[in-house]
Amino acid sequence: MKRTATIIAKSPDGKRCVAVDDALAEEILEFIESNPKVKKKFRYVTDLILHGHRASELYDKEDIEKGCEGVIAMKLLEGGDNAGIYCREVYVKGMYFVVIACEVIAHKSSQKNSHREKEVIRRMATYDYAKIHEP
């Protein structure tokens, strides 16, 4: 499925970016802005990504089956809410690495992926970002 995204943050060398899926940008950005804890953790995770670091407790692959390897989750709230944003990792023309925020999961009842989350992951694995642009 062809989609577009807009870059919202870029590393100093320009080789890593964080973007938001254009179709769901309003929902994703509203989710981030609605809770100060989420906003702070999103900034922190974004900074980790832009500097090439990985912290699996905050940002990890959702590799549920073959074909879903490029889907990851930003874990932004813990405990009862267990909220986060599912993202796609893509390489654009072999020049730079982009993490695209695609779907909000406002509440997850357990650490394991339910049928609903697995369907979201499978759907996201089919996303083809034809155009990633700067604001």
Distance CA 98, CA 59 (A): 14
Domain assignment present for 134: no
Position 111 scores a pLDDT of 64
Domain assignment present for 28: yes
Domain assignment present for 107: yes
What range does the domain containing 58 cover? Answer: 2-127
Domain assignment present for 103: yes
| DSSP SS3 for 73 | strand
Q: How many independent structural domains does the chain possess?
A: 1
Q: Report yes or no: 59 and 86 within 8 Å, Cβ to Cβ.
A: no
Domain assignment present for 132: no
Query: What tokens were used for 44?
Result: 């922190």
Domain assignment present for 64: yes
Position 82 scores a pLDDT of 73
Which single residue is written with the structure tokens 């959702």? 62
Residue type, 34: S
Which single residue is written with the structure tokens 């989750």? 73
Contacts of residue 93, defined as CB under 8 A and 6 or more positions apart, other chains included, come to none
Domain assignment present for 19: yes
Q: Is the pTM of this model over 0.85?
A: yes
Domain assignment present for 135: no
Position 79 scores a pLDDT of 62
Q: pLDDT 10s per residue in the chain (135 long)? A: 789 999 999 999 889 999 999 999 999 999 999 989 889 999 999 999 999 888 888 888 877 788 778 888 888 877 656 788 989 988 887 667 888 888 887 766 556 676 777 888 888 888 888 888 887
Distance CA 105, CA 125 (A): 16
